Amino acid sequence: MAPIGEDGAVTSAPQRPDGQTPAPRLIATDLDGTLLHDDKSVSLRTVAALAAAEEAGIEVFFVTGRPARWMDVVADHVHGHGLAICANGAAVVDLHAGREFVQVRDLPRATALKVVEALRTAAPGTSFAVERTTGINYEPDYPPFFQDPGATVATVEKLLNEEFDDGAGPVLKLLAHHGELSPDAFLELARSAAGRHAAITRSSPTALLEISGLGVSKASTLALCCAERGISPEEVVAFGDMPNDVEMLGWAGTSYAMGNAHPDVIAAASGRTVANNEDGVAVVIERILADRAARA
């Protein structure tokens, strides 16, 4: 991996046999720890870079672990298509249409219960939450979300019981929290114990895991969206900082790990940029557009 350059970006894009780098047609960026500053704001520089990319004909997709209801921070910055990929690929949402769900790749309740059983055995003390299209509910011992004061609190077995809450909407992901294990150790343990049932990843600095349907990821849903548009992986530039971005960065033809990225993300990406608080995504977009202008 090349070091970060003086201007904050590394150009290590794959090249075609003729020596030319494929022209980007789509930018896919994570939000927290990537596009957003630590205070959850979008800088003016980043807003300008996103708008300039869209004006130049490059689509921008926000690809995040966030649920649709937490997308207000970037809703005004989605142009053209209006779509965002949420919940680590479990949902495609139209932000222009009031966060309407365009596609849902749900986690079957029976599968979620198998994961719960496996993790209760492998990691006693694990607490769970259930993220649905309609909101989040969680167990009494699960760290509560101040953003969701109206959540139902009950055992996860009850929350996943259709007779208990048959109108709550599809399950997008299961969340698992452990108060003692380190984040990476918990992820490794969970994948070993339940990885055959579901996709397991993490984006939090704490021991909080995000569990989706088998085969559901940011990468797989982004690939579906790109296929609908006739966009190849080589024409995609992706950005990320945490393990839930690894598959997407490996799939995209060109990818950047943020300066603040997890080691697994650095290993998966083809390049690096500066940290989120230094507008690392904007740095790269500006370079892409400058290169395009120079070739025009």
Domains and CATH numbers, the chain: 26-105+217-295 (3.40.50.1000), 109-213 (3.30.1240.10)
The secondary structure of the chain in percent helix, strand, coil, rounded to multiples of 5, reads 35, 20, 40
* Token output for 141: 């011992």
**Section 191-206 average pLDDT:** 97
pLDDT digits (tens, 9 = 90+) for 227-249: 999 999 999 999 999 999 999 99
Q: Give me the residues paired with residue 175 across strands.
A: 129, 210
pLDDT tens, residue by residue, 26-83: 999 999 999 999 999 999 999 999 999 999 999 999 999 999 999 988 988 887 778 9
- Is residue 129 within 8 A of residue 137, CB to CB? The reply is yes
Question: Residue 232 is encoded by which pair of tokens?
Answer: 């190849």
For 169-189, how does the pLDDT look when each residue is reduced to its tens digit (9 = 90+)?
899 999 999 999 999 999 999
What pLDDT is stored for residue 76 in this prediction? 81
pLDDT at 217: 98
